[in-house]
Amino acid sequence: MKSEGKTPPVPLNHKISEGVAISQKQMKIAWANTHGQYPDLLSEGESVLYTAEIVYQEGQPALVNKKEVIKARAPECTLEAQDFRNNDSELIYTCYRAPHYADVMGVELKSGKVTVYRKLADEYNEVEGIFPDGQYTLVESSRDQGGPARQNSKYIDLWKLKLELNSTNFVRMTHWGDYEGYKASNPVVSPDGKWMAFQSARNDEPAGVGHGIFLLRLKE
């Protein structure tokens, strides 16, 4: 039988909050931690973004060179890592803001300088898949979803945001939310930038639950 060269996943022995940002250029990742994962290290309401490299030691993967990037405190901000950009010099992340809002942010890994890409007082904007050129990203947004009671992660559609300071270059990509009870979520862009994959979901179910994956052609 021909081997497919597959191996089982190996734990890196580190807890995380939400997802992991993965570099497309090197063996480097970023993630967030909160008090929930490490109560002895982080106080209630604190969250931290970290980066680290993955190396092989005696044939097994391990995390090395772990670095703290930025720290925040609720209710102003709870951190979630999303994507690297600009040759891994910047990390794009979501800042979750009480009671139910979110903002698109970026931090330069060397200087620690933070850039606000989209932050509106009464709008939920959770950053998702970045485009291959690093100039645009997809966002789960509550924009155009109705009044204050609908400005949260239950009532979202997918938008394309240009990553520039306080960006207003914001284009709606899906209209799932035009149909009561539905939302589109968890988008990613193909490596060639020609397709977007996303999930159809119901807005009365927990985040991450889906009912089918759809493809949207972005360009020929």
Residue-wise pLDDT tens digits, 110-162: 999 999 999 999 999 999 999 999 999 999 999 999 888 888 889 999 999 99
Quickly state the pLDDT bin for 1 (edges 50, 70, 90): very low
Residue-wise pLDDT tens digits, 10-54: 899 999 999 999 999 999 999 999 999 999 999 999 999 999 999
Question: Percent of the chain at pLDDT above 90?
Answer: 86
Looking at domain 75-217, its CATH superfamily turns out to be: TolB, C-terminal domain (2.120.10.30)
Per-residue pLDDT, 206: 85
Residue 169: other Cβ atoms inside 10 A: 12
Average pLDDT value for residue range 211-218: 96
What does pTM read for this prediction? 0.93
Q: Domain residues of the chain, as ranges?
A: 75-217
Per-residue pLDDT, 82: 98
